[in-house]
Structure 1
């Protein structure tokens, strides 16, 4: 037996039989995985002519140089695909396609989650910016150099203070949407429907732990950057501070990638905070660069999508409020009113409705992919989805679990 946790899909409680993975020979070298006592049933592929058995291999063609082939890998039937992804190790394009397919096939639930969370968070942010935050100090163009420097520092401090409520609201919105979308994506992998009420009931007991996990990883990442920049700040050396901050930033990135899969592990395996972090570190080990590349690609894509959606709303907001588009080049600090806040808030809601599902979906599918590669999770998922020929060895024909 190995020490890896099993796939605990929403709607089921973890059992002893879920705790055993079946590592592949290619992944056993250099890892701490062990062979499970339960092996997949041999020779139980349903004949292609049986009803519901899936794709039929192309017929053998006679003639010089023609060889019989399956439509998938040589000598193997195509991988089962009960949901949005095929149950085999995934490529980068398949992970992105699975996230988009989840948004397309479960659009009612996904948009219900993202729009609800985005609207509530944007309303809270608008009200805080309008009524609770002080106005940013203006810089006097006729001020002396010393006075201008002091006014600039005050303006920067005011901007940083104004960012704190927005960051906190964004953090809470991200946690709630991540928890709900993780449930939706996990169901879509098995090809099962899920409603907003189902996702909320499954995710609600894990929200506090997910909040603690997110805060802990955030503090660790920010702490690494602060520790790197601290010597330069204490010695008053700007160059040392830049070098130390850069080194701390590299450590922070390494920690971010190392624990990137902790959230789906916490939600789907019903693990604790520290156990989820250990699971993420174990799954990422040996695949750090691949994980980093996929996460960076998704980060860039979502940033581009947000910018494309946000720019027209930003221009429209400037035109509808203040001095119009001419205020962009006047150099003065505009006094934004309700029209600006409402229009930009609508743009932010639309951008969040698209980017949240893609970001959360890629993270969950990356977690599933790593478990397929290391622990043969595809066999357990095929049994849970009721794929023919993948009945549980223990029960013979029970495929309703999970």
Structure 2
């Protein structure tokens, strides 16, 4: 039978003592010139490598194969070879399938944040970058809202609200009726100032939410555009914040009510202890609920939702990430208040000094709430609010965006809206 030429088994070479009379396989393709493949009985070539020197089919050629064909070129990056310094394990950030392509492509960043899940530093940096990139619009909105709010507060404190009764609280000989009336006046003054400040905060949050959402896409927005976009939702946003305040007050009241009832029935000592425990439990419950609903404001403004739907959306987004959202919100609040205090406190001492009581008089008796004091301290409050509003509103909006990226792949929609290609998608997608 005629052997098939041109192929030889990659096993060991025939031994020297092999029977020469038996039929042998056809000689390899690199046979010497002059030999014909059709000649029967052709034996192995005289020049053979030593035994056990055959290399594996996919291995590198041995030094004795110098006369053979050149090996194929090494595989370049991109065919699964791990990059230098990368781990070769599957599923790792630098190994496995596709590791030779240099890892996953970087996230698109059309605006102030990259379109991927964010870290704490990136959220804070995004809020500051929004202020820096769109400073005209951001500071213009913050300054306008802060000035209008502070003017109303100063006029109310100087013309309407009576602060003279607060001196009774420092009088040890004051009667119970006088202390009760003084505390009522103080609570009324604080409540009015708080409501006015709340209105300003709602307006600033509504406008800055629109600015921050556009900054994520890298698109500028003017104050007029922000107002036109936020105006239909401002009433709903105010209702949302008022509802959250009522819920908080209701929780605190429910927590303190048993203590008051026990104090009336059994005695003040037992009732006071129960009241303190109830207030602590109510405070914890209110804090948990407020963090759970902290993303309702951007959900209402950006998704054009109703109040109840926005609250349910916030609860869904925060579920499973309560501690993370709480930590970031707390950190942003501390940073904003520290920066604002650095500005407000010097203005307060300056107002007390110029007002005539001096710094020592202000520390001892609270200072004279005259027009000079109100105006100078109001200027400091305006400057502080210009910084506080953008940071708190920006962090809340970016937290909302980050939670939706983590849970709903919002980065793909943002990439399409910004006109960039998101990681993991093709140009045809």
| Fold agreement, TM-score > 0.5 | yes
Compared CA separation, residues 333 and 217, structure 1 to 2 (3 A): closer
Contact 1:139 1:152 in 2 (8 A): no
Deviation at 1:327, TM superposition (A): 1.1
TM-score by length of 2: 0.72
The question of 1:81 aligning with 2:112 is answered no
CA deviations on 1:107-158 (whole Å, 9 max, x unpaired) are: 000011000000000000000011111232265799774x355444332222
Change (3 A) 1:296 1:91: same
Change beyond 3 A, Cα 1:374–1:142: closer
Residues 179, 389 of structure 1: alpha-carbon distance in 2 compared, 3 angstrom cutoff: closer
| Deviations, residues 309-348 of structure 1 (Å, cap 9, x unaligned) | 111001100000032223135x446432111111111100
Q: 308, 328, 333: which is aligned to 2:362?
A: 328
Matched, 1:285 2:313: no
Structure 1, unmatched stretches of 5+, are 1-58, 398-402
- Corresponding residue to 1:299 among 333, 358, 374: 333
For residues 165-188 of structure 1, the C-alpha deviation after alignment (integer angstroms, 9 at most, x for no partner) is 111111100110000000000000
Q: 2:250 aligns with which of 217, 223, 232?
A: 223
Residue 222 of structure 1 and its aligned partner are, at CA, apart by 1.8
Aligned to 1:268: 302
* Aligned counterpart, 1:235: 262
1:385 alignment partner in structure 2: 418
Counterparts of 1:98-177 in structure 2, within 5 Å, are: 98-137=126-165, 139=167, 145=173, 147-177=174-204
Looking at structure 2, the residues matched to 371 and 337 of structure 1 have their Cα atoms a distance apart, in angstroms, of 49
CA contact (8 A) 1:257 1:292 kept: yes
Q: Distance in 1 between matches of 2:320 and 2:235?
A: 30
CA change 1:388–1:141 in 2 (3 A) is: closer
1:316 is matched with which residue: 347, 350, 357?
350
| Cα distance in 1, alignment partners of residues 171 and 404 from structure 2 | 62
CA distance in 2, matches of 1:244, 1:202: 43
Using CA pairs under 8 Å that are at least 6 residues apart, name the structure with larger relative contact order, 1 or 2. Answer: 1
The superposition leaves residues 54-74 of structure 1 with CA deviations (integer Å, 9 ceiling, x where unpaired) of xxxxx99xxx982579xx953
Q: Is the 8 A contact 1:383 1:391 kept in 2?
A: no
1:245 corresponds to 2:279 = yes
TM-superposed CA distance for 1:164, in Å, is: 1.5
Aligned to 2:218: 191
> What does residue range 194-213 of structure 1 map to in structure 2 within 5 Å?
194-213=221-240
- Is the CA contact 2:112–2:126 (under 8 Å) kept in the aligned structure 1? yes
SS in 2 for 1:267: helix
Q: TM-score, normalised by structure 1?
A: 0.77
2: CA distance, partners of 1:226 / 1:327: 37
Distance 2:186 2:389 in 1: 26
Checking the alignment, whether the CA contact within 8 Å between 1:82 and 1:190 is kept in structure 2 is yes
Pick from 114, 121, 125: which aligns with 1:93?
Answer: 121
Alpha-carbon shift at residue 303 of structure 1 (Å): 1.8
SS state at 1:137 partner: helix
RMSD: 2.6
Counterpart for residue 66 of structure 1: 84
Which residue of the partner structure matches residue 26 of structure 1?
A: none
Q: Give the C-alpha shift of residue 391 in structure 1.
A: 12
Q: Return the alpha-carbon distance in structure 2 between the equivalents of residues 80 and 210 of structure 1.
A: 32
1:118–1:349 Cα contact (<8 Å) kept: yes
Note if contact 2:168-2:182 (Cα within 8 Å) is conserved in structure 1.
no
Q: Which residue of 350, 368, 372 corresponds with 2:401? A: 368
